Structure formats: C-alpha cells, structure tokens
C-alpha cells in the first residue's frame, strides 16, 4: 500500500524551498521568486522554510537544528528535493544531502535547469551547456564521493577515487574548451553582423529588463512579430532581431529582444551568454522594460543595472518602459504617459505602456522616432531626453 505522503508515480516532483536571511536588504522572506523559478522548472512547492543567521554554517549552511527541521518536513510532505535560495558550496551541498537523505540543490542549478529547458537555438544550447559544465566542474567532490579513497603504496598519493576525480575533471575541462571554441565562432559571426549593420548606419535598439517584465510582448507589439511570450520566468532565451519602421523619423531601426535578467544571476551564466548580451552592450539605445505592477520593481531595476554594468552596457543610453500599467491599482496609475525618473544618480526618460491593451505604445513609437531623428541630425519637435514635465513618481 502506498504511503499517503509518498509521491505518486509520474506525479509532478515536489520540493521544499529554503531561504536564509543574513540581514541583507530586500530578502525575499516569502520565497516568492524562488517559488516561481521552481514552478517554471516543473516542480510543485510542498513547503517553504525561512530562517535568520548571522553567517552561513560552514558544514550545513543553516545549522544542524534547522537542517533537522527541514529533514522532518521532507519526510512528512514526501518532497523529492530541497532547493536553497542562496548558492551552496560543494561541501555544504554534499553534507546536506547526506543529512536529509534527498537531493539538495541551489538557486544557481535551478536557473541552469530552466535555461536548459528553454534554449532553442544552437547558440543558446551552447551557452547553457558551457554554464552547466562550469557549474559541474566545482561539484566533482560531491559527484564522486561514493568512490573509495584509500592511500596507496610507497610513492602513491591516493586511491581509485582520486584517479576517477582527475579523469572526470579532465573530461569536463576538455568539454568546456570545445564549447568555448564553438561559442567563439558564434561570437565572430555576430561581430560580422554588427559591422554590417554599422556600415549601413543602422540604428540598433535592444530590449533589456527583469525576467517576466514583458519584453517579448512589447517586442511583438512593436514589430508585429510572433516571438514566444508567456507569464513565466525566462520564457525566451534566444535573441530575436527584427526591423522596426518609424514613420515619423522616416527610418528603419533594428530591434532586438534579449534574455531576461534576475537578481543574483549566476556569474557563469553572464559569462556564457556574453555573445548574446553583447547585443545590448553594442546597442545605440536600450529599452529597459519594467513591470510597473510589481511592488518590487525598484529592486528589479537595480538588479538589471548591475548586470548591465557587468557586460559593459552601463553607459548605453536608456529609455525606461514601465509596462503592465493595465494591472496597476487605478489610484497609482500615472497622470502622464511620459516623464523621467532617477536611476543611479541620473535622470532617465520613462514611458508608461501596456503591451496587452496597447495603451502608451503610440507614445513609445513617437519617442523612439524623435530620438532617432535627433541622433541623426533631423529636426524633432522636442528632445525626447528632456520631457516637458515630469509626472508624479510611481508609487
């Protein structure tokens, strides 16, 4: 007879979410974003655990008492895995798995899993594979802990376990080298395409923003494309570029939809997606899409700014596109479609839109046309970088 807490055959795997508050700002006590990531990866959230610590426990990250509590939750809920909102060291991960008797993973691996599921293009798959290999290379101590480690005879330094670890490390190292070489070819192809656009004096615009802010929806609305868009994290990973005609400027510009960012985006992923993210660094203008209906949008803006700094795109001019105003509380909706707000000590123009209803898209197109005309010396009715009046700040 099947235990009532045991997972049913072929049922959605359930997980326990764990977050530790170390006193850092903007701690997600409800583990809302980790829960969204888990659901995106195909898991069902069985329970959530939050705790406070001054510093991570070197062995178990959360300490032995909290680890016992989580182990009891795993047994009572029948969860198949435990997911931590913070990055775990290989030793902590191994110790937690031994203690709880089930797989234990962290936010980094969860994001890697989602990227692996969503990558469609050859380049995207290569980028995810590189990030996965780099992550796995740091986990060899856990992967091969089941092998015997015994001292050898005179002049010997280890047993078969040590030999296997070295073999696996060499194989992963060679795979990383091959993947990097293939990605380098892709990078050169993209550089050639960028030079061709520069020779044509093409004006390039890249959509950037926090994941699920609605970049692909705005992209589709502007260029009448059918790029996949869904209300989920990392719905699209591969860069898509289309031509956008701006009648008021009498020009066609190149518009690219890029991968979404997230707080604590694993550095390995930033490195692996360098070829794709280079589109943003080389753009003439960034449309920084923000979910205006999300109360945490200031923190999301800061997270995107940090990633832009990592990829060398911090100095590229931006337009903030506050999307999803249709989902906002009517009392908090802006009085004007265009204004400006301060980001990192600088005034950045802002436009309010709804990709769903179409509200504000005409103002967005007009702003882009005026900016393109200004950059190319054509007369414009007003400098879009200097709005006539600033609207009331968004609450």
233 annotated ligand-binding residue? no
CA 94 – CA 302 distance, rounded (Å): 33
Q: Comparing C-alpha atoms, which of 86, 90, 127 is closest to residue 107?
A: 86
235 annotated ligand-binding residue? yes
Residue 120's Cβ-count burial label (10 Å; 0-12, 13-18, 19+) is: exposed
291 annotated ligand-binding residue? no
323 annotated ligand-binding residue? yes
Give the strand pairing for 338-343 and 346-352: antiparallel
108 annotated ligand-binding residue? no
356 annotated ligand-binding residue? yes
Other CB atoms within 10 Å distance of the CB of residue 207: 26
119 annotated ligand-binding residue? no
Q: Is 154 helix (H, G, I), strand (E, B) or coil?
A: coil
3 annotated ligand-binding residue? no
CA 175 – CA 162 distance, rounded (Å): 20
215 annotated ligand-binding residue? yes
CA 38 – CA 42 distance, rounded (Å): 6
238 annotated ligand-binding residue? yes
221 annotated ligand-binding residue? no
237 annotated ligand-binding residue? yes
294 annotated ligand-binding residue? no
211 annotated ligand-binding residue? yes
Q: Comparing C-alpha atoms, which of 283, 254, 266 is closest to residue 114?
A: 266
22 annotated ligand-binding residue? no
Residue 232's Cβ-count burial label (10 Å; 0-12, 13-18, 19+) is: middle
257 annotated ligand-binding residue? yes
214 annotated ligand-binding residue? yes
320 annotated ligand-binding residue? no
Other CB atoms within 10 Å distance of the CB of residue 24: 8
326 annotated ligand-binding residue? yes
- Assigned token pair, 354: 């709804």
Radius of gyration of the chain (CA): 24
**Phi then psi for 314, rounded to 5 degrees?**
-65, -25
Q: Point out the annotated binding site for Mg(2+).
A: 216, 236
Q: Point out the annotated binding site.
A: 209-216, 234-238, 257-260, 323-326, 354-356
Q: Point out the annotated binding site for GTP.
A: 209-216, 234-238, 257-260, 323-326, 354-356
């Amino acid at each position: 007879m099947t235990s009532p807490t045991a997972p049913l055959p072929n049922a959605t795997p359930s997980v326990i979410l764990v977050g530790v508050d170390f006193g850092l700002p903007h701690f997600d006590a409800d583990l809302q974003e980790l829960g969204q990531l888990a659901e995106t990866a195909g898991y069902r959230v069985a329970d959530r655990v939050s705790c406070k610590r001054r510093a991570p426990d070197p062995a178990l990250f959360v300490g032995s008492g909290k680890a016992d509590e989580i182990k009891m939750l795993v047994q009572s809920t029948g969860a198949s895995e435990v997911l931590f909102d913070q990055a775990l060291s290989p030793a902590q991960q191994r110790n937690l798995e031994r203690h709880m008797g089930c797989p234990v993973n962290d936010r980094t691996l969860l994001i890697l899993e989602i990227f692996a599921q969503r990558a469609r293009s050859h380049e995207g798959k290569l980028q995810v594979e590189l990030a996965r290999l780099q992550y796995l290379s740091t986990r060899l101590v856990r992967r091969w802990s089941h092998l015997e480690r015994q001292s050898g005879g005179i002049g010997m330094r280890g047993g078969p376990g040590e030999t296997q670890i070295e073999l696996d490390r060499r194989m992963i190292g060679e795979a990383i080298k091959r993947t990097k070489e293939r990605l380098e070819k892709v990078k050169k192809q993209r550089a050639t395409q960028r030079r061709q656009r520069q020779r044509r004096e093409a004006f390039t615009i890249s959509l950037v923003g926090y994941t699920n802010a609605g970049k692909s929806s705005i992209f589709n609305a502007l260029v009448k494309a059918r790029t996949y868009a869904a209300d989920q994290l990392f719905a699209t990973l591969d860069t898509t570029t289309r031509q956008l005609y701006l009648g008021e400027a009498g020009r066609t510009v190149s518009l690219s939809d890029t991968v979404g960012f997230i707080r604590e985006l694993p550095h390995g992923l930033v490195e692996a997606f360098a070829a794709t993210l280079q589109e943003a660094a080389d753009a003439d203008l960034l449309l920084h899409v923000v979910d205006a209906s999300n109360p945490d949008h200031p923190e999301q803006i800061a997270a995107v700014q940090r990633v832009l700094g990592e990829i060398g795109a911090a100095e590229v001019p931006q337009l903030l596109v506050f999307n999803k105003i249709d989902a906002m509380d009517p009392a908090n909706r802006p009085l004007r479609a265009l204004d400006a707000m301060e980001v990192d000590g600088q005034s950045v123009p802002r436009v309010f839109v709804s990709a769903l209803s179409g509200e504000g898209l005409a103002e967005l197109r007009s702003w882009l046309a005026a900016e393109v005309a200004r950059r190319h010396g054509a007369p414009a009715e007003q400098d879009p970088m200097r709005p006539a009046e600033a609207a009331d700040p968004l609450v």
